[in-house]
Chain A
Amino acid sequence: MYFARRALLAVLAVLFLTLPATAQDKFITVASTTSTEQSGLFKHLLPAFTRASAIEVRVVAVGTGQAIKLGEKGDADVLLVHHKPSEEKFIAEGWGVKRLEVMYNDFVVVGPDSDPAKIKGITDVSAAFRKIAETKSTWASRGDASGTDLAEKEIWQALGIAVSKSGPEWYRELGQGMGPTLNTSAQLPAYTLSDRGTWISFKNRGPLQIVVEGDQKLFNQYGVMLVNPAKHPHVKVELGQQFIDWIVADAGQKTIADYKIEGQQLFFPNARKQGS
């Protein structure tokens, strides 16, 4: 009995006492989107920043809508998200200090290779969406108020096609992140809108392939913002600003450009022309 109990205690002691001492003392919390995390960009980008600055970056990857909520509540120091109207509203309401553009990629429409709506090769995304609606081909929507979800909803809205979680029947709102939505789309199968980064790094494609790409409307800009210390005094202004300065400067921009999967660049740095 004593031996067994002591053995178990010893195991527990080792487990508890060898707490990782590797964590940096200085860290910031960045609320960002699933696309930047799930595409592997952060795994490539953040170690470079930590090496340069000795600041650890803790990323909470959620949809843009939720990331902005985390910023408003003060649970993050920096936001790196991709829905310009939401970001500008965040700044206008005083939750953020300043919005800087960091990088872009683009959205692609993916769908089953059987292509029931016959849209493969169309370059006008609005025309493609209209055909999907006309042929009542199954569409899988994120439905999670993420940047991708909002971008998709804007295209439907501009076409005057009413879609929501209550229908029409061919329109399926999943309420999930990009990866799970692609997993589901491959099974249904359905058309869906994905950011290119997540798509390139996604492994369970099934019958899905890119059907529409290259339209100006599919441009996907990422912005970075420091949460306003006037609203949340505990925000790590100095460390957060160091991260922002680094990511929009040459070092960060080059690291973003260097990230490739199978030779394809996933994100394109464009911090040069700084807007508001």
Chain B
Amino acid sequence: MSEILSAFSIAFDLIVSLDRELIEIIRRTFLVSLSAVAIATLIGLPAGAVLAVVRFPGRRALVILINALMGLPPVVVGLVIYLVLSRSGPLGFMGLMFSPTAMIVAQCVLIVPIVTALSHQVLRELYEEYREQLCSFGATLPQMILTILWDGRRNLVTSVMAGFGRAVAEVGAVLIVGGNIAGVTRVMTTTIALETSKGDLALALALGMILVVTAIALNASAFLVGDAAPARQGG
């Protein structure tokens, strides 16, 4: 109980004193996770739209597969990425092991299925609604995809933020491929794990609180941007 109380005061002190190390870690955390989300968005949204619009053999199986991959265990992803990026692995020559880039790759693998599956869900319903109209205009496939992506953008924010949530909260994979190196690959979750290991539960909890608050702030600003966008056709 005393830990929970002192966690609040430690969190407060850390924020008020603008602890340099902490700010570095927070920035690195968001740098890594936002990069992963940006890449996953560039892959996941178009992929989700294609799955929603284009009919091709094996489409259902692919949707089921991607849905299943949303539950990929991070440790397994971390281990596989490690074996691939290790100096003894197929991409070892790139020297990416224990770098922020390796962490971005791991997070990407984890969240591309999430962004794809959730945006497919959103866009499929939108496409049902739009299909006749789009066909009567004689829209081409790329036009259809662009239209539903644009009109679905407000709901797609949720898909992207779900991916971000998974990325920023993840610890198993980034611990393996990042190595939790102080000043290089140490992010919020790995710091929290480390402080828990040291038995400094109050500091660990304080860092946890700060992580949650910053994630809420980022989500809030994403939705504010989404809401500020002019709604078109009730989209």
Contacts and interface: CB of A to CB of B under 8 A. Distances in A.
B132 to A, nearest CB: 30
Interface string B194-210: 10111111000000000
Nearest to A202: B199
Interface in B177-218: 179-184, 194, 196-201
B221 A8 contact: yes
B184 A15 contact: no
Contact of B228 (A5, A42, A178, A180): A5
Nearest to A43: B182
Nearest to B30: A15
A179 B180 contact: no
Given A5-B228, A16-B31, A234-B95, A180 B180 contact: no
A204 B3 CA distance: 10
A4 B228 contact: yes
A75 interface: yes
B225 A8 contact: yes
Interface size class of A (residues with CB under 8 A): 35 or more
Interface in B212-232: 221-222, 224-225, 228-230
A103 to B, nearest CB: 20
B87 A232 contact: yes
Contacts of A177: 197
Contact of A60 (B34, B98, B200): B98
B199 A203 contact: yes
B92 A74 contact: yes
Contacts of A59: 181-182
Contacts of B34: 12, 15
Interface string A31-58: 0001001100011000000000000001
Q: How many B residues are at the interface, by size bracket?
A: 20 to 34
A178 B184 CA distance: 23
A180 B195 CA distance: 10
Interface string A1-42: 101110110011001101110110000010000100110001
A81 interface: no
Contacts of B86: 73-75
Given A15-B27, A29-B98, A183 B225 contact: no
B133 interface: no
A38 B200 contact: no
B199 A183 contact: yes
A11 B217 CA distance: 12
A86 interface: no
B197 A180 contact: yes
A60 B221 CA distance: 35
Contacts of A241: none
15 contacts: A1-B228, A4-B228, A5-B225, A20-B24, A20-B183, A38-B194, A38-B198, A58-B98, A59-B182, A60-B180, A73-B86, A178-B197, A183-B196, A202-B198, A203-B199
Given A180-B196, A183-B196, A183-B199, 17 more contacts: A1-B225, A4-B225, A5-B228, A15-B27, A15-B31, A20-B183, A29-B98, A34-B197, A58-B98, A60-B180, A72-B88, A75-B88, A179-B197, A179-B198, A204-B199, A232-B87, A234-B87
Interface of A: 1, 3-5, 7-8, 11-12, 15-16, 18-20, 22-23, 29, 34, 37-38, 42-43, 58-61, 72-75, 177-180, 182-183, 201-205, 232, 234
Closest 5 CB pairs of A and B: A179-B197, A204-B199, A74-B87, A60-B179, A203-B199
